[in-house]
Amino acid sequence: MDWTLVSPIMMLALWLLTSYLLLNVGNLIVRRYPSSPTVWWAILVLSAIPILPFGSSSELVHIPKVLLELGGYIEQQQSQLPRNLEQSTLLFADTLFYGVIALYLVVAIRKLYTLFISWRSINKLLGTSEPFKQSVTSVPCIQLPINCSPFVFGITNCKIVLPNYFSKLDSEQQYSLLCHEVTHIRNKDHLALVAWSILGCILWFNPFVKRMEKSFVHALELRCDQFTVTHFELNKKHYAATLVTALKHSVNTHSFASAANFSSGALSLADYKLRLQEIIQPQSNKPVYLIILLLLLTTLLGLVNIKAAPALHVNTSHWHNPLDNFWVSSHYGHISEFRNSKAHGGIDLVAPVGAPVMAVSSGTVVIADAKTLPSRYGNVVLVQHENGYQSLYAHLDTIEVERGTRIQGGGKVGTLGATGRVTGAHLHFELLYQEQRINPLAILALE
C-alpha cells in the first residue's frame, strides 16, 4: 500500500490510543485534583507528543540481515511486464487518501459553520436584552427576557448575560452569581471554552477530545467556585444554595454552548453533586505532586515518540528515481518458475550500460563494494536514509562512492552494469525499512 496512506493511518491510530489512555489517566488525576482545568490542557497536549516529529531524524548505519541471506534474492529474466495492476493500486490509494482528506475537511467545515451559526444566534438573542444596573463589576450586564443560566459572552468586549429570573433573586444571591461570572472573566474562562469548542470541531474524528472538553468544563466550574468563595469571602452554604436555585431555574431552558455558564449544560447530576461537595469542603491539593506526575508522563510519551517516529514521519517528497530513462523488467514481489517460485525482493530497471545511477535520497553509504554481500549482487551500494530506510543499488558497472561518506539525494552512486548473477544489464533496486524489504512503489513512482 502507498505509504502516503499507511503513515497517516498509523499516526491516527497511535493518537487515538494515546488519547484514550491519557483520558483515563486524567480521570484518575482529577480524583485528587478535581478543580485543576490545566490538567486537561496538559492531557490534550501530551496526547500529541507521540506523533510529533521530534525524534524523526534517526539514522542507524548497519547492514540488514535479510540482505545476507542466501535465498533472499534470485535474479529474474528480463522481460517487460505490464504495470496496469501497480498503476491501478497506486491510483486507488491516492484516490482513497484524498477522499479521506476531503471528508475530513467537509465535516470540519460543517461543524465550524454550525458553531458560527450558534454564536450568531446568541448574538441575535442578545438584541432582545435590556441593560441591567449593578455595582459589583464594571463589566456590562444585560438581562434576557428568557430563563437560562447566567453566562459570559464575547471575546474582546465580553458581557455578563443574566436570565429573566435574576431580578426575582435576593440581593445576596444576585451578588454570588455576579461574582461567579466576574471570576470567569478574570480567569478568561470564556476564551478557553471557545478554544475547546473550535478544537472539538477541528478534531471531530477523535471522540476522546470531546470527553476531555466535558471534563475540562467540570474542572473549570470547580475552580471558579473555589476562587469565588475565597476571593469574595462568600458564605459557602449560601453560595451552594444559590447554585441549586440557579440550577432549578435553568432546568429545561436554553443552554448556550461555548459560554461560561453558572450552571453548565455540559455537567451531569453527579458533576453537580461533586461541585456542591467541593464548595462546602474543598480538597487540599499539593500542586508539586501534579507537576511531578505530568513531567513523568511527558518523559514516558517522549520515549514513545522516539520509538514511533521512524514509522510515522516519512518525508518522501524529496525522493526521486535512481535512473532518468528506463523501463521495468521485473516488479517487486513477482513470482516466476525461473526464480523457483520465490518473490522478487526488489524492482529491476533496464537502461543502457554506463547510465548514471543516483541516490534516491540523502543518506550515508553503508556498502560500496562487491564483497560485503553475496556475489549475486555484483557491485553494490547500500545507502542508509533517515527513519530506518535504506536503498540498495546492485549489478553496478562502476561504484563512485566510498563507504562511510555522506551523499545527497540525486548524487551519483555509480553506473548501470551487469555484474553479479544477471541475465542482462540492468539495475536491481531495493528499498528496505527497519531491515525488511518493502515495495519501492510505496515511495517512488518509477515511471
Q: What is the pLDDT of residue 160?
A: 93
> Cβ neighbours of residue 341 under 8 Å, at least 6 residues apart?
335
| Cell, residue 317 | 517528497
Question: Quick one: which of 336, 174, 167, 152 has its CA closest to 261?
Answer: 152
Higher pLDDT among residues 362 and 447, named by residue = 362
By three-state DSSP, how is residue 366 classified? Answer: strand
Helix 207-231 / helix 38-48 crossing angle, nearest 10 deg? 150
Question: Quick one: which of 151, 142, 145 has its CA closest to 164?
Answer: 145
Over residues 79-93, the pLDDT tens digits come to 444 445 445 555 666
Contact assessment for residue 316 and residue 424, using Cβ atoms and an 8 Å cutoff? no
Q: What is the pLDDT of residue 396?
A: 96
Q: What is the pLDDT of residue 344?
A: 81
Considering the entire predicted model, what is its pTM? 0.68
| Cell, residue 89 | 493500486
Burial class for 298, CB neighbours closer than 10 Å (0-12, 13-18, 19+): middle
Over residues 79-138, the pLDDT tens digits come to 444 445 445 555 666 687 788 889 999 999 999 999 999 899 988 999 999 999 988 899
Over residues 424-447, the pLDDT tens digits come to 899 999 988 877 888 888 778 776
The full set of domains in the chain, from first to last, is 3-57+289-312 (no CATH), 65-93+317-442 (2.70.70.10), 107-278 (no CATH)
